Amino acid sequence: MPSLTLTVLGSSPAWPNPGGACSGYLVAGGDTRLLLECGFGVVGRLRAATDVRTLAAAVISHMHPDHYLDLVVLRHAIKYGHIRAEPLDVYLPPGGIEILERVGHALDGAGGFFAGALRLAEYSPDRRLVVGGLTVAFRRVVHYVPAYAMRILAGVPARTLVFSGDAAPCEELIEHAQGADVLLSESAIERPDQDAAEPSQRGHMALAEAAELARRAGVPRLLLTHAPVDPSDPDRVAREASAAFGSPVERVRDGASYVI
């Protein structure tokens, strides 16, 4: 059995690509299955990919709705659909519980909307989170709101996947990705001028920037996600990033699995 695998549930940007879903990834290490992100349309894909009773936890990188709002759907599926008997542990960034509780209150006018279905907690960015056979280390990156890249390790010797979350090009992400086996990087824009002019105010990476970041971090394999897809030429983003990276780059596809 491979020590670490990635199944892409959704790879779209904030709006779904044709037939796609927003951010959602199933990471498996040994017998441990971890859901990263839970954006629009992810829960149905999750149920098709695995028995939700085997899911150890979910981890959310930042509190933008295309990364977490299907937690509402997951709550319904657990509470009313009985797809698992126990509440699911959900690890949110600092401040995430308050945001999610406000969402719940807006939906039903009372508190405790997620109670009994999701067990909410906030991770500490300066501490590693150990979930079964997986270890997650966090690093704050540059985005419009507080956001955290994740470095996920499994197996002996450890295989390492770094997930950028949503991030502008920044030294913090380069350091966090240093020497990883795979970088799963967002690329939500095509050119830097599509974002803020001031680097500290930016929130996303262009194709060439993701490739340059991976090259500087010494990562041998780059997977692109969170990118808009041109239906007439869906592989263009991978070709353009490959030219900047100096070796083949893959655009992940919803439903596909990758061995790390």
User: What is d(CA 207, CA 185) in angstroms, rounded to the nearest whole number?
Assistant: 10
d(CA 98, CA 92): 10
Prediction pTM value: 0.96
Q: In the prediction, which pLDDT does 110 show?
A: 86
Distance separating alpha carbons of residues 144 and 201, to the nearest angstrom: 7
Whole-number Å distance between alpha carbons of 15 and 98: 25
The whole-angstrom separation of Cα 121 and Cα 108 is 21
3-state SS record for 245-256: HCCCCEECCCCC
The CATH number of the domain holding residue 159 is 3.60.15.10
| Cβ atoms 196, 233 nearer than 8 A | no
pLDDT for res 142: 98
Whether residue 228 has a cis bond before it, omega within 30° of 0? no
Q: In this structure, how many other beta carbons lie within 10 angstroms of the beta carbon of residue 86? A: 10
> In whole numbers, what is the pLDDT of the chain averaged over residues?
96
Do 238 and 221 meet the contact criterion of CB atoms below 8 Å apart? no
Is residue 213 within 8 Å of residue 224, measured between CB atoms?
Answer: no
Residue ranges in the chain whose pLDDT is less than 70: 1-2
Q: For residue 32, what are the CA distances in angstroms to 29, 45, 141?
A: 5, 18, 26
What's the pLDDT score for residue 2? 66
What is the span of the domain harbouring residue 221? Answer: 5-259
